[in-house]
Structure 1
Amino acid sequence: MQNIKNIIFDYGNVIFDIDFSIAQASFQKLGITDIESFFAHKAHNQLFDDFETGAISPAQFRTGIRKAAGKPDLTDKQIDNAWNSLLIGTIQENHDLLLRVKEKYRTFLLSNNNEIHYDWITNYLKTTFEINNYDAYFEKAYFSQHMKLRKPNTNIFEQVLKDNNLDPTETLFIDDSPQHIEGAKKVGLNTLLMTEKPAQLESFLKANGIL
């Protein structure tokens, strides 16, 4: 791509595999019905937005799941296991790739996340790859629950641009969610919709002229 100097990466299903269908099945086993309106890739209950923006605590999130399932006796572990079931993992090759991309561009991570998933991922990175976080792989990593903002709202993109003095016309945003792509376009970012699995991230970047 011409004129691109900066890249903002999404995390889930760009760098790291997630599977919404597994979480849907897990929530259904807990007793939640009408799962497509409660939790899906393109739409979900307000509970998830609140959790991803840090408006509610993990304890409040779990209370919301118990209420939705109609089962007040669900344990924290049952709920966390169901919620974390969508987290699949990543590959060392993607970490190596990110370091190569960082040599050519200013790179950033921008993820809709939450405290329960963040803790799981942090532990996974330590035990699987012996890394503590993504500080070495990006100029800065942004997570929605820390920012109190989430994609696709334009204010989260504006914050990243402002913090780092980025020109949106020179900045590329890569995400797997069409609604997030549309939010990024509203602030003038160049965009790419991730259409491959994270294991194919390198070939995706090459096919789109990034590498």
Structure 2
Amino acid sequence: MIKTIIFDFGDVFINLDKVGALEQALVNFKLDSLPEDLVHVNSLYEMGLMETSEFMEFYESAFPDVTSEKILEIWNSILKDFPHHRLEFLKALSDSKKYKLILLSNTNDLHIEFVKTYVPFFNEFKSYFDVFYLSHEINLRKPNADIFEFVLNENNLIASETLFVDDLAENTAAAEQLGIHTWNINPETEDVTTLFETKKELFS
């Protein structure tokens, strides 16, 4: 019986344009693919192990022909709309008091500040969760096992009574290794609001 539901944020509640954002980065930075040092810096920033000022300085130094404003635009271009029906679903779920609700997102300070500015109901969204974990605030990131162990231990959760919803297969696979039930949601064809129909075997 599921007692706790852990949700990802991007491509579960807020829509993302991962392909478009990558294309924009490659074109503007004149790259064929993202080099390892860029991927490493992005990961450090997601884990809160690098300040925003350091992060921006790295990009400004690496790509001196690209303005800091353009770098910010490219970085935030992955973030798209947040359909209101998903907020309504979450509110109803929260109001039911049937489950402990946890958000677990790989993100960073710049993205969250952007979301706060352009999603007027962000604080309402946040209020519907019992616990709200952002990778850059807890210095951990998915799919590393330690982030799932942290959430389980901090909240005294039993893995077999927990469901984790995420759009990335590598993240749900890592959670499954610890005995957590998962839904690897496909943002192209599925919507989080169908949770109880899609995973009805866990809630019957």
Q: TM-score, normalised by structure 1?
A: 0.85
Matched, 1:54 2:48: yes
SS at match of 2:86: helix
Instruction: State the match for 1:161 in structure 2.
Output: 152
Deviation at 1:62, TM superposition (A): 2.1
Q: Which residue of 2 aligns with 1:89?
A: 81
Structure 1 residue 180 corresponds to structure 2 residue 162: no
Q: Secondary structure at the match of 1:146?
A: helix
1:208 corresponds to which of 185, 199, 203:
199
Give the gaps of 5 or more residues in structure 2. Answer: none
Q: Does 1:66 align with 2:60?
A: yes
Distance 1:80 1:121, change over 3 A: same
Shift of 1:158: 1.1
Structure 1 portions without partners, runs of 5+: none
What is the alpha-carbon distance in structure 2 between the residues aligned to residue 107 and residue 30 of structure 1?
39
Structure 1 residue runs of 4 or more that deviate by more than 4 Å after TM superposition: none
Measure how far apart 1:34 and its partner are. Answer: 2.3
Aligned to 2:136: 145
Structure 1 position 201, deviation (Å): 1.9
- Quote how far apart the aligned CAs of 1:164 are: 1.2
Q: How far 1:28 moved relative to its partner?
A: 2.1
CA 1:133–1:122 in 2, change beyond 3 Å: closer, same or farther? farther
Residue pair 1:12, 1:111 contacting (<8 A) in 2 also:
yes
More divergent stretch after superposition (106-115 vs 182-191): 182-191
The TM-score, its normalising length taken from structure 2, stands at 0.88
1:78 and 2:76 correspond: no
Q: Percent identity?
A: 31
Instruction: Write the distance in 2 (CA, Å) between the matches of 1:77 and 1:38.
Output: 22
User: Does structure 2 conserve the Cα–Cα contact (< 8 Å) formed by 1:51 and 1:61?
Assistant: yes
Contact 1:173 1:189 in 2 (8 A): yes
The answer (yes or no) to whether the contact 2:126–2:132 under 8 Å persists in 1 is yes
Question: Structure 1 residue 197: deviation in Å?
Answer: 4.4
Which among 4, 9, 12 is matched to residue 6 of structure 1? 4
- 1:24 pairs, out of 4, 22, 25, with 22
Two-structure CA RMSD over aligned residues (Å): 2.2
Identify which of 109, 116, 132 aligns with 2:110: 116
